[in-house]
Amino acid sequence: MKIFVVNAGSSSLKYQLIDMENEQVLCKGLCERIGVTGAISHKAADGRTYSAETAMPTHSEAFEAVVYAMTKSDAKVIDSFDEVSAIGHRIVQGGSIFKGSCLITPKALQDIDDLGALAPLHNPAHVLAIKACIKTFGEEKPQVAVFDTSFHQTMPSKAYMFALPYKYYEQYGVRKYGAHGTSHWFVSDRVAAIEGKDKKDLKIITCHLGNGCSITAIKDGVCIDTSMGFTPLDGFMMGTRTGTLDPSALTFIAEKENLSPADINRICNKESGVLGVSGVSNDNRDVAAAAEKGNERAQLAIDMQRYQILKFVGSYIAAMNGVDAIAFTGGIGENDAELREYVCENLAYIGAEMDKEKNKVRGEEIKISTDNSKVNIYIIPTNEELAIARDTLAIISE
Ligand code: ADP
């Protein structure tokens, strides 16, 4: 059984074909500049590659290029798309409607479209991709939606509500939805599997630290709180995003510089965070290198981000009245040994103890706390595509 996993943006489309017999990736690729010019780069698991510049006025032509790459090119991996059992789509915003993954029916497609108000950069693009799939692969090919938000739908209202006038929640659905849900779900499942325990019996904190960053508290097997909010801007400092800050700082700057809401959105999402403070880069590796050479703002950016991560971890320990396991994932979480050491050292008060040798390991699933540690600390490389493929298989098997 083969599952085609799609992560579509407005002008790009990432895909993987996964053989569910052994959960191996058969090929992966990327279509770019959809709607402008069009290009595909495709790689089979054995290393063969195919790339081409080909007109992609819409997502339909992009999918046709993917089908060619997978079935006919020098890097083909199947004879026909008929071998593909279903398509699993990553969907950014499921609002309060979608509590889990679902088969994409006309009603579900309409709901995903309507939720575009909450995710204007993402949901409309997902809808275009789903419609293009119907056109390219036919209505019979099952399509499943897997939402970034659904893992967080178990949060209690005291965690997801903002202390704004209640009418904004009622009228516009303004509340915390969270993001990276598929990753937090995958990683917390792995923690429970490694621990050999039922997830319901564990208090877990998962730290997804990449370009976007979020931390989630999982108790009784479900998410009880997460750092991202109404949008993925909330939480703590990221590559280019502010994370939480006093909103009146923004109204103050807006008045001083005569900025519109769109300007504020741009500044907070694209020009802030590690990039905004350091003035160097949004990539932690560049910023760390600059700090090493004595750049004080670069060092400040690193110190701020680490401190904010620590505070979120600490607040979730308080929210759960303890923690059994903490897992790090994402580009920063998997690679930045100093960050993990800093967090662990500052959790000595709850008996956390790091094995410094194991903490040097990169990109591998490993327990990095000592056997004496009261909290088990892990590096767990995330695999959102596999999680989407697994859920897609589960939904079509129902
Ligand atoms: P995305 O959120 O786009 O999937 P990733 O999870 O790949 O991103 O994370 C990308 C980030 O990981 C980079 O911006 C970089 O800051 C960080 N990163 C990668 N390698 C290292 C490293 N060795 N040390 C510190 N940070 C790293």
Q: What is the DSSP string of 218-246?
A: EETTEEEEES--SSTT-SS--SS---S--
Asked whether 264 and 245 are in contact (CB, 8 A), the reply is: no
Residue 74 DSSP label: T
Q: Which domain holds residue 141?
A: 2-147
Given a cut of 90, whether residue 28 has pLDDT beyond it is yes
Does 183 reside within a domain? no
Residue 148 annotated among the catalytic residues of the structure: yes
Residue among 148, 234, 355, 391 flagged as catalytic: 148
Directed axis angle between helix 261-270 and helix 247-257, to 10°? Answer: 120
Instruction: Report which DSSP code applies to 216.
Output: E
Final residue of a domain: which of 147, 177, 205? Answer: 147
Regarding whether 118 and 234 lie in a shared domain, the answer is no
**Same domain, yes or no, for 346 and 214?**
yes
Is 206 among the domain residues? yes
Q: Is 163 part of a structural domain of the chain?
A: no
**Same structural domain, 207 and 345:** yes
For residue 74, being part of any structural domain is answered with: yes
Whether the pTM exceeds 0.85: the reply is yes
Query: How is residue 127 written in tokens?
Result: 């809808």
Distance 289 CA to ligand 1 centre (A): 14
Domain CATH code at residue 286:
3.30.420.40
Specify the number of domains making up the chain. Answer: 2
209 and 139 inside one domain: no
Same domain for 211 and 104:
no
69-124 per-position pLDDT tens digit? 999 999 999 999 999 999 999 999 999 999 999 999 999 999 999 999 888 889 99
Q: Cβ < 6 Å from ligand 1: which residues?
A: 210-212, 239, 283-285, 330-332, 335-336
**Could you give the CA distance from residue 289 to residue 281 in angstroms, rounded to a whole number?**
11
Q: Are residues 142 and 202 in the same domain?
A: no
Residues 319, 321: Cα–Cα separation, whole Å:
6
Is residue 95 one of the residues assigned to a domain?
yes
Q: pLDDT (tens digit, 9 = 90+) per residue, 205-255?
A: 999 999 899 999 999 999 999 999 999 999 999 999 999 999 999 999 999
pLDDT at 290: 98
The last residue of one of the domains, among 113, 147, 181, is 147
Residue 224: how many CB atoms within 10 A of its CB?
19
Q: Note whether residue 42 is domain-resident.
A: yes
Is 164 part of any domain? no
In this predicted structure, the answer to whether residue 363 has a pLDDT above a threshold of 90 is: no
Give 294 Cα–ligand 1 centroid separation in angstroms.
22
